[in-house]
A and B are shown apart, each in its own frame.
Chain A
Amino acid sequence: MPQPSQTSRPMPGPRGRGPRGPRPKLEHPGRLCARLLSYILKKYAVHCAVVLVCIFLTVFASVQGTLFLQTLIDNYILPLIGQQHPDFSRLFSAICRVAGFYLIGILAGYANTRLMVNVTQGTLRSLRDDLFTHMEELPIRYFDTHSHGDIMSVYTNDIDALRMMISQSIPQFINSVITIVSVFVSMCMLNIPLTLLTLLMSAVTLAAAKWAGSLSSRYFLAQQHDIGALNGYIEEMMNGQKVVKVFTHEKESITRFQELNDALFHSADNANKFGNILGPINAQIGNISYVLCSIVGGILALGNAGGFTLGGLASFLTFNKSFGQPINQLSMQINNIVMALAGSERIFALLDEPVETDNGYVTLVHAKQAPDGSLCESAARTGQWAWKHTHQADGSVDYVELRGDVVFDDVDFGYIPEKTVLHNVDLYATPGQKIAFVGSTGAGKTTITNLINRFYDIQDGKIRYDGININKIKKADLRHSLGIVLQDTHLFTATVMENIRYGKLDATDEEVIAAAKLANADTFIQQLPDGYQTMLSGDGANLSQGQRQLLAIARAAIADPPVLILDEATSSIDTRTEKIVQDGMDKLMAGRTTFVIAHRLSTVRNSDCIIVLEQGRVIERGNHEALMALRGKYYQLCTGNTAGA
């Protein structure tokens, strides 16, 4: 059966896990197996039951077919020999009977394969869906602490390994076991000594398989290691290919490549070699077993020991062959099963990751002014928003106008509890203010923005939004009220139009274009081959960094949030364009709160308040003039005078 994994596929981004190290040791293979099976059975219990029945029927039919061959010669052909008028009617009815069995076998075989297609693909689909759904709920911390390559590899390598196991290994395993048992019983019924002989030869086969398998797995590990090394090198060199050209380093990079390539060749050759010879060894031991049985059986049949007949020998020899095959197949499935279990271990590990918790109960609602001047909820979009605060004690409801008032009260935070990166941060932003954060790398600027939208939760202190502790606000509503343009711009595989619309899914084309104009992105979008309908792919790889930032700003602008956070959002945009964008944003954000992180003076100087951070502490605050007059750190940064910095 063709396998998708056999096709070429551009593996996106950081690939695989590199060298996988020694063959994974499974902690609880039994428990994993049980969990996997119960996952499959949860949805496909009926399918699986039918499949099991079908496998039984298939094996039964093929055993019947083999038994028929025995009766064919002994009961139907030999008695007819030498008769004057041979009567073939008994043979005819026997053939009809066996044709019936064959038909059952064929139908059961088809039903089995066909149902397994649904079981396999269905299970993979629900695993994928579950994985993705679960992943979307995971906290940012998970993504910050796990390599993206490892996460991806769960979706690709591990799911692929599982497909092999569910679609092939499991049915084959069941089939093999049933076949072995039933063939064994049939052989015993025919002749015990010959059965023992067959068993002996099977043991030899298994021993040979184990020998070749252990040799092969040693080289297999080496091969995995060499593949990892070579792929890592290829990736590094292809990423740095332009630098290689600039430094005319081509020869050196080829030399190193050659070493790695040759190493892989040798280990792959050996690993493959032992894999290849396993088949012939098994087959020929099978043949020798066949020969031995025929000689011993011949002697027995000649002596007619225990009523053993020529027809019996013929049947037995067929059984001999069908006994060897499932044993060979079983030995070849072991590697697959181990790989798949290792994969399912990682899949379940991801599914077991705790999701982002959200105990917030304050929600964001459309609001309008009631006749008496108080706020009340509105079903339609009014452009005005309110926090709906349902008090837990008595169930009464308060409406607080969403204004964008943000206060940090003595906030401490560390990504890991032992290492605090923000110390006693106090911060107050009143609606309509533009607050800028300034400071060197690692001072904690981006961390502050991570806290406002609760990507991370603070350890100590309070953050209040319009007077409400943000822990009480539902995360989704909190984030709806904040527009963020991040340091690293990420775009999605979709048209430019859809990418901007990401900020507000029900935006009309006109609204999208208006937002793009505001962000000064309209001009370059018009010049793209298909304008707003141009497909972006690979994270907007066909755009310049500056253009991507303009799109990200347009995306935030269309969301029209009360509070906007710009984290180095204009760092790759030239000064003149930035000025135009800034004017547009200032218009949009009039009366609303903006947080800006930037290292360009022109971006921050007209802020209402500039906060200078150093090593997680606020060391200065004030507007540009005040801070310049202070002649402190800000002054040093501005004038380029680093003495004492």
Chain B
Amino acid sequence: MLRTLGAQIREFKLPSLLTPVFMVLEVLMETIIPLLMASIIDDGVEKGDLHHIYVTGIWMVLAACFSLFSGIMGGVFASRASTGFARNLRMAMFQNIQTFSFSNIDRFSTAGLVTRLTTDVTNLQNAYQMLLRMCVRAPISIVCAMAMAFFISPRLASIYLVAILFLGAVLTFLTMRAHKYFMQVFPKYDDLNASVQENVSAIRVVKAYVREQYEKEKFTRASRNIYHMFVKAEGIIAFNNPVMQFSVYACIIALSWLGAHMIVAGDLTTGNLMSLLTYCMNIMMHLMMLSMFFVMLTMSAASGRRICEILNETSDIQNPAEPDFEVPDGSITFDHVTFRYNPASAKPVLDDICLSVRSGETIGIIGGTGSSKSSLVNLISRLYDVSEGRLLIGGKDVRTYDLTTLRDEVSVVLQNNVLFSGTIYENLRWGDADATDEECRCACRLACADEFIEHLPDGYDTYIEQGGTNVSGGQKQRLCIARALLKKPKILILDDSTSAVDTATDARIRRAFAEEIPGTTKLIIAQRVSSVQHADRILVMENGSVNGFGTHEELLENNEIYRYIYEAQTSGNGDFDEGGAA
């Protein structure tokens, strides 16, 4: 994990190295200052040497200035290194996510990806800065202070050694115990917030079933549970400060007693004793800090792990070594295709599919919920790879094509489609970045989107909100179709893309397809018979297999499922209103 993350430091290696260097300089100065102080008292004040006080004082001011300079430089470089590291992490993750195939994306979930790119990176940025500034500084500080203490008086300094060992052991013990509780409580805390979220979005259900009291009790129970766990964990942490105070005070008392004897015996000066007392505070403070950093670092380790999961994930679908950039035509052949989302699952999602579609044909696909209609068409543009068998487009295996070429030639309108924030033009040009306004409008005409766009106050320059929330379901679907059409693909796939469009408009879109883009192979998945019945051939899917494949008349004659659906929906009119399913 450290190697993966470390690789992302890249151009920020220099600041990452300079930070500790300046930190060490700052610490050195901080160690020297009490020494100079002792000298002022011993050699200046006691001997009545004003000159010595001035000279040493000037040295001290210089040391303080140098320390200030180092501190500032350390702060500046630490900031640069840590924010730069965060930037690189985000960039590396985002770039890798862009190479992910659908199956990779499914594995992480959208929320998981977003958290890794945001919260987790922030955690690591903070941890990294702390690491650079403090984790070098604190040990060095301790070592320097110890060295000075030994230099002054090895006998007295050995008191520190005992105190450090004691404090270190107790702090480690406390931290480990508290950490265990924190690790238990954080996921619970997340769950609590998730349940609030759930209640907010499902408030209608809660109120419709009059479950307010039930939800309140559930929440109060969880919240009490969390309270007790937090109190337990923080109660342990509450021991940290007293333990450290105990160590410091014990040192002070021991120093005073032993120091007094040594001063009286002439083995130690009063100035030296003052310095030793200062070092005492210094050492214990830094030890305390170290234990805190230790806690924080172990906590951000979880973030680091999650980030590494993304950085180390390789896409399941790779571009072939010598890709083919030319798709000859829009014919599609499924040759004994079997497909599983999870290689381990016994029952395949698609089972031994054999089909062949001629270039330019219009194919309707119909079948119940979970009959794997979407899985079937997702294989065509290699959104997923077949598990067994071959899938040919234009007579060549899809795995031989360049991915971009393939996806430009096979245009899919997904079931859960998304518009992006930006104007309608900008959204349409996802299909073809160089499309002229005229081409955009033409595609919208084909998709019957032109009528509503022209009624919008800003027409094609209307700004679409994130997620397309300011257009209705039916309008969104038509925009998505237009966007897909702008690719001028050889194969066009509509995955239940007109479900929110009213029957009449749906019919006009289909008519426009037949007249304007006759050469394009069209696959249309639909729930409504009316959407598919005029297709050249209709594919009836059932449980991952082909149940029937033929014209409307043939299927009515000899396909039970199709006849049933047809009769249930009456002759050609399944729906009434526009946008009802949205």
Cβ of A136 and Cβ of B75 under 8 Å apart?
no
- Segment at the B interface, from A42-50, A115-123, A509-517: A115-123
Interface pick from A30-38, A185-193, A268-276 = A268-276
- Judged by a CB distance under 8 angstroms, whether B435 is at the interface is no
Binary per-residue interface labels of chain A (220-241) against chain B in the complex, 1 for a CB within 8 Å, 0 otherwise: 0000000000111011111111
Select one of B114, B235, B573 contacting A234, CB under 8 A.
B114
A530 at the interface (CB under 8 A from B): no
| A298 and B245 form a contact (CB under 8 A) | no
Asked if A217 is at the interface (CB within 8 A of a chain B CB), the reply is no
Question: In the assembled complex, which residues on chain A have CB atoms less than 8 Å from the CB atom of B431?
Answer: 247
B580 with A245: CB separation less than 8 A: no
A404 to B182, CA, bound (A): 53
Provide the A1-40 mask, 1 if CB < 8 A to any CB of B, else 0. 1101011111111010000000000000000000000000
**In the bound complex, what is the Cα–Cα distance between A241 and B100 (angstroms)?**
9
Contact of A125 with B227 at beta-carbon distance under 8 Å, contacts A1-B237, A601-B575 already known: yes
B101 at the interface (CB under 8 A from A): yes
Q: Are B114 and A238 in contact (CB under 8 A)?
A: yes
A4 CB contact (under 8 Å) in B57, B112, B182, B420: B182
Flag if B26 contacts A280 (CB, 8 Å).
yes
Q: Say yes or no: A247-B300 contact (C-beta < 8 A), given A129-B223, A277-B72, A440-B578.
A: no
List residues of chain A with CB within 8 A of the CB of B230.
4, 117, 121
Do A601 and B198 form a contact, CB below 8 Å, given A276-B78, A541-B109? no
Contact between A480 and B79 (Cβ–Cβ < 8 Å)?
A: no
Q: Are the C-beta atoms of B414 and A242 separated by less than 8 Å? A: yes
Instruction: Give the dominant DSSP class at B's interface.
Output: helix
Shortest CB–CB separation between residue B34 and chain A, in angstroms?
A: 10
Which B residues are in CB contact (< 8 Å) with A641? 504
- The answer to whether the Cβ of A378 comes within 8 Å of any Cβ in the partner chain is no
Taken together as a complex, chains A and B put the C-alpha atoms of A78 and B83 apart, in Å, by 54
**A234 touching B260, Cβ below 8 Å:** no
Query: Looking at chain B, what size class is its interface with the partner chain?
Result: 35 or more
CB <8 Å contact, A106 and B245: yes
> What is the distance, in angstroms, from B167's C-beta to the closest C-beta of chain A?
13
Q: B87 near A264 (CB under 8 angstroms)? A: yes
| B503 adjacent to chain A (CB < 8 Å) | yes
- The docked-state distance in angstroms from the alpha carbon of A284 to that of B30 is 9
Q: Which residues of A80-133 are within 8 A (CB) of B?
A: 80-81, 83, 86, 88, 91-92, 95, 98-99, 102, 105-107, 109-110, 113-114, 117-118, 120-122, 124-125, 128-129, 132-133
| B408 to A, closest residue via Cβ | A248
Whether A283 contacts B245 by the Cβ 8 Å rule is: no
Stretch of A381-389, A459-467, A569-577 with 4 or more beta carbons under 8 angstroms from chain B = A569-577
**Cβ-defined contact, B202 with A492, below 8 A:** yes
Instruction: State which residues 608-623 of A face B: CB under 8 Å.
Output: none
Interface readout for A481-510 with B: 1 if CB under 8 Å, 0 if not?
Answer: 010101000111100000000110100000
Q: Report A460 CB to chain B, min CB distance, Å.
A: 24
Most chain A beta-carbon neighbours within 10 Å: one of B74, B78, B79, B207: B207
Chain-A contact segment, one of B188-196, B390-398, B515-523 = B188-196
Q: Mark B382-415, 1 if CB is under 8 A from A, else 0.
A: 0100000000000000000001100110011010
Of A253-261, A392-400, A418-426, A583-591, the one contacting chain B is A253-261
- Once the chains are docked, how many angstroms separate the CA of A294 from the CA of B185? 50
Cα distance A492–B230 when bound, in Å?
25
- Give Cα A593–Cα B570 distance, bound, in whole angstroms: 26
Given known A-B contacts A302-B45, A440-B578, A72 and B256 have beta carbons under 8 A apart: yes
Chain B 194-236 residues near chain A, CB threshold 8 A: 194-212, 214-216, 219-220, 223-224, 226-227, 230-231, 234-235
B299/A6 in contact, CB under 8 A? yes
A455 lies within 8 A of chain B by Cβ:
yes
Does A7 lie within 8 Å of B302, measured CB to CB?
yes
A272 and B249 form a contact (CB under 8 A) = no
Q: Could you tell me the distance between the alpha carbons of A273 and B90 in the complex, rounded to whole angstroms?
A: 20
Residues of B within 8 A of A265 (CB): 83-84, 86-87
Distance in Å from the Cβ of A54 to the closest Cβ of chain B? 12
User: Is the C-beta of A362 less than 8 angstroms from some C-beta in chain B?
Assistant: no
Contact with A along B97-141 (1 / 0, CB 8 A): 111111001000111111101111001011001000100000000
Please state if A152 and B71 are interface contacts (CB–CB under 8 Å).
no
Q: Is the CB of B467 within 8 A of A236?
A: yes
Would you call A575 and B197 a contact (CB within 8 A)? no
A546 surroundings in chain B (CB, below 8 A) = 369-370
Name the residue in A262, A314, A480 with the highest tally of chain B Cβ atoms < 10 Å from its Cβ. Answer: A314
> A476 to chain B: which residues have CB within 8 Å?
210
Of A334-342, A366-374, A632-640, the segment with at least 4 beta carbons within 8 Å of chain B is A632-640
> In the complex, what's the smallest C-beta–C-beta distance from A140 to chain B, in angstroms?
7
Chain B's closest residue to A116 (CB) is B238
- CB-CB contacts below 8 Å: B263-296 with A: 263-264, 266, 270, 273-274, 277, 292, 295-296
A288 close to B (CB within 8 Å): yes
Interface assignment of B491: CB less than 8 Å from any CB of chain A: no
A-B contact count (CB 8 A): 481
Q: How far is the CB of A200 from chain B (nearest CB, A)?
A: 16
A642 to B40, CA, bound (A): 100
A81–B263 touching, CB < 8 Å: yes
Answer whether residue A310 sits at the interface, using C-beta atoms and an 8 A cutoff.
Answer: yes
By a CB distance below 8 angstroms, the chain A residues around B404 are 248
Name the distance in Å between A125's Cβ and chain B's nearest Cβ: 4
A19 to B407, CA, bound (A): 36
Given A136-B199, A140-B207, residue A601 in contact with residue B574 (CB < 8 A): yes
A92, A129, A310, A599: which has the most chain B beta carbons within 10 Å?
A599
**CB < 8 Å neighbour of A640 from B204, B266, B306, B507:** B507
Q: Mark A287-306, 1 if CB is under 8 A from B, else 0.
A: 11011001100110110000
Q: Within the assembled complex, what's the spacing in Å between the Cα atoms of A393 and B271?
A: 93
CB of A250 within 8 Å of the partner chain: yes
Within 8 Å of chain B (Cβ to Cβ): is A438?
yes
Chain B residues with CB under 8 Å of A65's CB are 249, 252
B204 to chain A, nearest CB (A): 6
B190 lies within 8 A of A9 (CB): yes
Q: Return the chain A residue nearest B33 by Cβ.
A: A287
Report if A441-B472 is in contact (Cβ < 8 Å); known contacts: A86-B264, A248-B403, A637-B577.
yes
How many Å lie between the Cα of A245 and that of B407 in the bound state?
8
A475 to B261, CA, bound (A): 84
- Residues of B within 8 Å of A264, CB to CB, are 87
B99 touching A573 by the CB < 8 A rule? no
Identify which of B209, B238, B246 contacts A114 (C-beta below 8 A): B238
Which stretch of B1-9, B60-68, B324-332, B455-463 is in the interface?
A: B60-68
Q: Are A575 and B568 in contact (CB under 8 A)?
A: yes
Do the beta carbons of B67 and A236 come within 8 Å of each other? no
Contact check, B65 vs A284: say whether CB atoms are below 8 A apart: yes
How far does the alpha carbon of A151 sit from the alpha carbon of B198 in the complex, in Å? 12
Q: Which residues of B contact A231 (CB under 8 A)?
A: 114, 118
Task: Tell whether, in the assembled complex, residue A455 and residue B204 are in contact, meaning their CB atoms are under 8 Å apart.
Answer: yes
Query: Which of chain B's residues have a CB closer than 8 A to the CB of A310?
Result: 41, 45-46, 270
B241 CB–A CB distance under 8 Å:
yes
Q: Bound complex: CA of A406 vs CA of B347, how far in Å?
A: 49
Which of A106, A143, A441 is close to B203, meaning CB atoms less than 8 Å apart? A143
Q: In the complex, what residues of B have CB within 8 A of residue A288's CB?
A: 61, 64
Residues of B with C-beta under 8 A to A135: 196, 199-200
Determine how close the nearest CB of chain B comes to the CB of A571; give it in whole angstroms: 4
Chain A residues near B223 (CB-CB < 8 A): 125, 128-129, 132
Q: Please indicate the chain A residues that have their CB under 8 angstroms from the CB of B68 in the complex.
A: 280-281, 284
Task: Kindly identify which residue among B210, B215, B576 contacts A599, using a CB–CB cutoff of 8 Å.
Answer: B576
Contact with B along A304-340 (1 / 0, CB 8 A): 0000001001100100000000000000000000000
Closest CB pairs A-B (n = 9): A280-B71, A599-B580, A276-B75, A490-B202, A441-B579, A272-B79, A637-B576, A284-B68, A546-B369
**21 A-B contacts (beta carbon < 8 Å):** A4-B189, A6-B299, A7-B182, A8-B300, A11-B111, A91-B260, A118-B231, A132-B220, A231-B118, A238-B113, A245-B102, A254-B94, A283-B71, A438-B576, A455-B204, A479-B207, A490-B204, A547-B369, A576-B568, A601-B575, A605-B570
